[in-house]
Structure 1
Amino acid sequence: MNRPVLPLRAPGAIAVITLALALATVFAAPTATAARPATTSVVTWGASADRLDAAVAGRSHRIVVHTSAGGSALRIRLSNAFGEQPVTFGRAYAGVRASGAAVAPGTNRALSFGGAASVTVPPGGSVYSDPLPGTVRPQSDLAISVYVQNAAGTATGHRMGHQTSYIAPAGDHTAEEAATSYTQQTGFRYYLDAVVVDAPRGTGAVVALGDSITDGASSTANTNRRWPDFLAGRLAADPGTTLKGVANEGISGNKVLSDGAGVSALKRLDRDVLSQRGLRTVILLEGVNDIKANPAPTAAQLIDGYRQIIDRSHAAGVCVVGATVMPYEGWGEWNAGGEAVRQQVNSFIRGGAFDAVVDFDAVVKDPAAPAKILPAYDSGDHLHPNDAGMKVMADAIDLRSLRCDR
Structure 2
Amino acid sequence: MSDILTLNSGSSSLKFALYPLDDARDLGALTPRYRGQFAGLGTATPGFQLHDAQGRPLDADPGPLPERLDHRDATTRLLAWIDAMPDLELAVVGHRVVHGGQRYHRPVVLTPAIVEELEALNSLAPLHQHFCLAPVARLAERHPELPQVACFDTAFHATQPDVARHFALPREFTARGLIRYGFHGLSYDYLTQVLPQHLGDAPRARVIVAHLGNGASLCAIHDGRSIASTMGFTAIEGLPMGTRSGSLDPGLVLHLIHEEGMSVEAVGDLLYKRSGLLGVSGISSDMRDLLASPAPEAREAIDLYTYRAVREIGSLAAALGGLDQLVFTAGIGEHAAPVREAICRGCEWLGLTLDDVANRRHARCISAAGSRVGAWVIPTDEERMIAWYSAGVIAEK
Do these two structures clear the TM 0.5 threshold for a shared fold by scoring above it?
no
Judging by fraction of residues, say which structure has more strand. 1
TM-score of the superposed pair, with normalisation by structure 1: 0.29
The structure with higher relative contact order (CA 8 Å, sep 6+) is 1
TM-score of the superposed pair, with normalisation by structure 2: 0.30
